[in-house]
Chains A and B, each alone.
Chain A
Amino acid sequence: MNWVPFEWLQYSFMRNALMAMLMITPLFGMLGTMAVDNRMAFFSDALGHSALTGVALGVMLGARDQMVPMLCFGILWAVLITFVKHHSRMSADTIISVFSSTSIALGLVILARGGAFARYSGLLVGDILSIAPEELPLLLGVLVLTAAAWCVLFNPLLLTSVNLSLSQSRGIRARMTEYGFTVLVAVCVMVSIRWVGVMLINSLLILPAASARNVARSARSYLLVAVGISMSCGVLGLIVSYYINTSAGAAVVLICALVYFVTLPMRRR
């Protein structure tokens, strides 16, 4: 059995990582489609950065399980950015940038107190191999919840991305839809940040959807292809990282990027 390509599966940390990957990647493939459609790539990047503050707050509060403070902070932050965006005349990218840098700086200030940042620097790239079996159910729960929410949010998001006032004229509460979506992204970012990393999480959201756009011809195929690309790149990246002994998250993102460039010439127009 030594020579077969399943050698990596004999280690339990690889099996756990595979399970985690199979739950994280469809999440991001799914959410990415509408993040791209609604031009929110920059916004989700800011949410990724906010995870740093989330972890920092968790550490500061001395919480044994940092997940709760992280989730609370992520949701609060997402709602706050969206609220300020709606109620300010300033351009969205400026506002997002302000929030993004604030959260990075705040996170660093807290985590680096007493020169302890080295302990948390792993957060920047994440480490999916360190996931424990008891952490898998949370991912599964989030995946199920997100898929359910997605069924409700997909049509309104699609319509709003084409024309805001048209969607409003058809009784869609566009703002509520946007808040719902941002909260969803925040939750997904927070539950996966330790495994994917602050620097890479946005790529995982944007790249599969961007690649899917190159080949998809309908909303249905867009979503299916995005999830498909995301999942296969995830598994492939994990295997590659095992054999060349490198960061799994980075390998996944690199393969996603490769898929993007390969599919780029397939664009119709």
Chain B
Amino acid sequence: MSEMTRRLLRREMDQCRLCRIDVEHLGVVRDGQVLLSDVNLHIHCGELTALIGANGAGKTTLLRALLGQIEHTGSVHHVRGDGREVGAIRTGYVPQQLEFDRSSPVTVQDFLAAAMTRRPVFLGVSKKTRERITRALERTRSADLIRRPLGALSGGELQRVLLALALEPQPDLLILDEPVSGVDSNGLDDFYRIVSDLRRHQHLAILLVSHDLDVVRRYADRVVLVQGTVIAQGRPQAVFASEAFRQVFYSKEAVEE
């Protein structure tokens, strides 16, 4: 019994081995253009860190650099609770809902099975895989969507399916690229409530790119304001009250209205 408890504990510690991601002096240059320079920030486990900024400020570029999809300078360290460094971490990614061919005959089950297993989907999905998919979908309250065509889902439903996939297998860092449009406010609330629960119960580090300051105010633990580099970061209230924030958002909103 005690052996088992110990093993459980160890597994728990394994899961939370990552504590913090330190990004230091990160820069991205593309075609001679400096997209990001000297970005410094920490992403903590158990917290939701929101990246905000104007369009073209480099939020998505930063995301892609962290995902390892584009080259960058500077360093990204993954640090454990005891201060030691871990090598690779597992990253779950929920993309912005980009254009995809909605007429493609792919069900939610096909899509998740293709991502989770090597067995070609046209050979059918094994019972074991189906159970795994169901469990993953249950985590985001979307088990009822398993047989639906991917192209027939609403924006909110698709978000939840993508989240379920990002959480399977359990990542250390979850990166959410929020859709600019296509998800109604109910769907958005559902989605962020699930994300909030995850952060609390699974001790995930969550990085969110958001265009919706209301969402950020309600759900983020920390906010990073990006404009080619980090121009403000801290608790939401502090960042929202900063001069940098006022310059980026208020001057723009005033023009729009």
Chain A residues with a Cβ under 8 A of chain B: 37, 39, 150-152, 154-156, 158-159, 161-163, 165-170, 212-213, 216-224, 267-269
Size band of the interface chain B makes with A: 35 or more
Q: Assess the A154–B122 pair: CB atoms within 8 A.
A: yes
Q: Which of B69, B103, B114, B119 contacts A213 (CB 8 A)?
A: B103
Given contacts A154-B114, A162-B106, A163-B100, 10 further A-B contacts (CB under 8 A): A152-B120, A155-B118, A158-B121, A162-B150, A166-B95, A170-B115, A218-B107, A219-B105, A220-B110, A267-B103
Q: Assess the B105–A213 pair: CB atoms within 8 A.
A: yes
Q: Assess the B114–A159 pair: CB atoms within 8 A.
A: yes
Q: List 22 A-B contacts (CB under 8 A).
A: A151-B123, A154-B121, A155-B113, A158-B110, A158-B114, A159-B114, A161-B101, A161-B104, A162-B100, A162-B104, A162-B111, A165-B95, A166-B93, A166-B95, A170-B93, A212-B105, A213-B103, A218-B106, A219-B122, A221-B105, A224-B122, A269-B152
Main secondary structure of the interface of A (DSSP, over half): helix
How far apart are A235's CB and chain B's nearest CB, in angstroms?
22
Chain B residues with a Cβ under 8 A of chain A: 64, 67, 69, 91-93, 95, 98, 100-101, 103-107, 109-111, 113-115, 117-124, 149-152, 162, 165, 175
Q: Assess the B93–A165 pair: CB atoms within 8 A.
A: yes
How far apart are A12's CB and chain B's nearest CB, in angstroms?
35
Q: Which of B98, B100, B122, B165 contacts A220 (CB 8 A)?
A: B122
Number of cross-chain contacts by CB at 8 Å: 97
Q: Which residues of B contact A168 (CB under 8 A)?
A: 67, 69
Q: Which of B93, B101, B103, B115 contacts A159 (CB 8 A)?
A: B115
Q: Assess the B105–A217 pair: CB atoms within 8 A.
A: yes
Smallest CB gap from A157: residue in B = B114
Q: Which residues of A contact B93 (CB under 8 A)?
A: 165-166, 169-170
Q: Assess the B103–A269 pair: CB atoms within 8 A.
A: yes
Q: Whole-angstrom distance between the alpha carbons of A156 and B149 in the complex?
A: 18
Smallest CB gap from A172: residue in B = B115
How far apart are A144's CB and chain B's nearest CB, in angstroms?
15
How far apart are A195's CB and chain B's nearest CB, in angstroms?
26
Smallest CB gap from A162: residue in B = B100
Q: Which residues of B contact A167 (CB under 8 A)?
A: 115
Q: Assess the B106–A158 pair: CB atoms within 8 A.
A: yes
Which of B100, B106, B151, B165 has the most A CB atoms < 10 Å from its CB? B106
